[in-house]
Amino acid sequence: MMNYTYMVKCADGTFYTGWTNCLQKRLKAHNEGKDGAKYTKAKRPVELIYYEGFTTKEEAMRREYRIKKLSRREKECLTEFF
């Protein structure tokens, strides 16, 4: 099973970064406001703008942590060619 680090753009233009083992299910949860992140609940709909696949949950979580430390401009650079 693949694990993913992903970034979504919220309706208000902000970014949210997370990790999951099922991108489709996670995006659906964010957009339905059920089992999504508290942050995205009031900022729907969200749109997938970036993701990376990893073989382990730990790798995906490490990448999520590193992306969250980036500036908005650095995050935008990540998504430019996605």
pTM of the model: 0.95
Number of domains within the chain: 1
**Enclosing domain of residue 12:** 3-79
pLDDT tier for residue 68 given thresholds of 50, 70 and 90: very high
Query: Looking at residue 66, which CATH number applies to its domain?
Result: 3.40.1440.10
3-state secondary structure the chain: CCEEEEEEECCCCCEEEEEECCHHHHHHHHHHCCCCCHHHHCCCCCEEEEEEEECCHHHHHHHHHHHHCCCHHHHHHHHCCC
- pLDDT band at 81; cut points 50, 70, 90: confident
Where residue 60 falls among pLDDT bands split at 50, 70, 90?
Answer: very high
Amino acid 40: pLDDT: 94
pLDDT level of residue 55 (50, 70, 90 thresholds): very high
